[in-house]
Amino acid sequence: MAAFQRRKRARLDARLLLQLLAVMSGIVLIFAVLFILLMDQEGHEYGVIDAFYWVLTTMTTLGFGDIVFESPIGRIFTVVVLLVGILFIFVALPFTFIETIYASWVEAQNESLAPKKLARNVHGHVIITGSDPLSLALARKLERYNYSYVLLAPNYEAALPLADRNLNVMVGELDDAATYEQARIGIASLVAVTGMSDSMNASVLMSIRSIAPSLPLISVAQGSASADILRLAGATHVLQPIDQLGQALARRAYVGDKRARVIASVDRLLIAEAKFDGTELEGQSLRESGLRAQTGVSVLGTWHRGQFNTATPDMQFLGGRLVVLAGNAEQLERFNQLYPIQQPEDRPVVIIGGGRVGQSTANALEAMGLDYRIVERSIRSSSANGKLVVGDALEHAVLEEAGLDNASSVILTTHDDDINVYLTLYLRNYRSDLVIISRSMHEHNLSTLQRAGADFVLSHSSLGANSVFNLLKRSNIEMLAEGLDIIRMPAPLRLAGHTLAELDLRARTGCIMLATVEDGRMYVNPEPKRPIPADSEVILLATIEDEGRFLELYPQGRG
């Protein structure tokens, strides 16, 4: 009600409704006087209360028939009262009420959920200009780290579904500088221009830059050729998550001449994956293997059908699993020398889908010196240097032509999650030993793709959200797979002075401490009895749930 009363239009609407009621009251009064006069002519005497009673029951079509006119003029008057009542009570009054009071109340309700102006107590926030999967993934990540943000939506139709999902949203035209003034851009920390066409992003950037000449602006580029244009429009950083996704998918392809393949790095810290099939390690437990003592590498866990299982001393190295290792370059080289591959993996990688992601994946594989084939329904998407197979991926002959029977991995790059799930089920049934790597458009489809049989799932929304978040310089996040990240952050005060043995982070939060950074020097796989200095950084491996538990127990910046 307070929001309703503050609105100038609501007060005007209420005044209009009151004016209509006043007119109706005047008409009722006139009809009551005429009723008394006409009844007097017929020889009947009725009082004021009887007059109002008859007028109101007649106007509302409830006339009980206990008081009726006998003369023609009286009955004509009755019809007039009835018609006026229908016009006012059943047409004018409801319509005016809906268009004034009710519409204003609904608008006030909408504004309480999705205001057109940001609250004054918000500062240092991130303004996000889209509602696509990347924008939503960024909003959720900011929430987990307790950072203020606001999602902009052009109208209530777009804003209210976001508000229903408990996201902070504000309504305003995205290419109007006034919207950003209402979003308190003067005290914002960053603007992420996401979720629109490159031409629209350029207009938005220019509108923002006209009122915020020095604010960091991060823009997403849909097309490879758009990056320079977006920088000219005012972008401080331009992200190309499609290209990032292609490179990340290519790194997952299991090929090469070394057992441990590096899939991610944070300075000197390297994360690698290895298959132990056919080695003396197969069937052993982590405790029995003595890997850390022999090579210095730490075993973080194993992957199987998209599920990451954190390592325990009694965990066995089973066939068909990918073992995740952490160490520096020397430690991983020592591991590769102790456990060499007898026959290098040189079978081709099959890419299903020749769109932008498929092309980006193919370019990344080619840069890595790896063989590949692209399966695409039409020839429009790529020349592929003779490596394009045109046809439907569900046809056995097409898969045979692409070399699937001899392929080491398949990468699904279509932009439809339903199709990717369908293809994953089909391919898993076709070859149970195949490494299937899939793209996902939406985070909530991760578990579906895993149940279908995908070994790894990656999405451009999570990659893009991590990249934007890293530019805040509050932490550094590298995504290993959907839902599993390497996180670099300042050591929370509650960790300072404690050793890993005392903290028992793995048991309490599920996070694995990969390294610490002290005075610019990185200590990979730190010793359990080494204290964590107050001014250091920590590097963790964590799922989204583990990350949430860690931040709850060890919030950043608070003791």
Residue 255 has what pLDDT?
A: 67
269 within 8 A of 515, measured Cβ to Cβ? yes
559 touches 532 (CB < 8 A): no
DSSP state of 183: T
Q: Which fold has domain 349-460?
A: Rossmann fold (3.40.50)
Measured between alpha carbons, how far is 443 from 461 in angstroms, rounded to an integer?
8
267: which 2 tokens?
């300075």
The Cα 261–Cα 253 span in angstroms is: 10
d(CA 206, CA 210): 6
* Single-letter amino acid, residue 353: G
Within the chain, all domains assigned CATH 3.30.70.1450 are found at 257-338, 483-553
E strand or H helix at 462? helix 460-471
CATH code: domain 483-553 is 3.30.70.1450
> Can you spell out the DSSP letters for 113-145?
HS-SS--TT--S-EEE---SHHHHHHHHHHHHT
For the chain, how far is it from start to end, CA to CA, in angstroms?
41
pLDDT tens for the chain, residues 1 to 559: 554 555 555 666 667 778 888 888 999 999 999 999 999 998 888 999 999 999 999 998 888 888 989 899 999 999 999 999 888 888 887 887 777 666 666 666 777 677 888 888 888 899 999 888 889 989 988 888 888 999 999 988 888 888 888 899 999 999 899 999 999 999 999 999 987 788 999 999 999 999 999 999 999 998 778 889 999 999 999 988 888 889 889 888 866 678 888 888 888 888 888 888 888 898 899 989 989 889 989 898 888 777 788 888 888 998 878 898 998 899 999 999 998 887 666 678 999 998 889 999 999 888 888 889 999 987 754 445 678 898 888 888 888 888 888 888 899 999 889 999 999 999 998 888 888 999 988 777 888 998 898 988 888 888 888 888 888 765 567 777 767 888 888 888 889 889 988 888 888 888 888 889 988 888 888 888 889 988 898 999 888 888 888 988 988 754 3
pLDDT confidence of residue 3:
47
Distance, CA of 65 to CA of 62 (rounded, Å): 9
pLDDT of residue 434: 86
The CATH number assigned to the domain with range 2-112 reads 1.10.287.70
Tokens read off for 224: 């490879």
Longest dimension (CA), the chain: 121
Topology (CATH level 3) of domain 257-338: Alpha-Beta Plaits (3.30.70)
Contact 225, 238 (CB under 8 A): no
Domain with CATH 3.40.50.720 in the chain: 126-239, 349-460
Instruction: Enumerate residues 6+ apart whose C-beta is below 8 A from 141.
Output: 465, 466, 469
- Closest alpha carbon to 137 in 366, 438, 443: 443
Residues in contact with 376: Cβ distance below 8 Å, sequence separation at least 6, in sequence order: 353, 354, 358, 382, 388, 389, 390
Give me the architecture of the 126-239 domain, per CATH.
3-Layer(aba) Sandwich (3.40)
CA neighbours closer than 13 Å in the CB half-sphere of residue 396? 3
pTM: 0.68
Where does 339-457 have alpha helices with state H? Answer: 356-367, 396-402, 417-430, 446-452
Strands 372-376 and 349-352: parallel
Which residues of the chain does CATH 1.10.287.70 include?
Answer: 2-112
Q: How far is CA 455 from the centre of its chain?
A: 22
List the one residue out of 142, 143, 481, 507 whose CA is nearest residue 310: 507
The span from the CA of 352 to the CA of 374, in Å, is 6
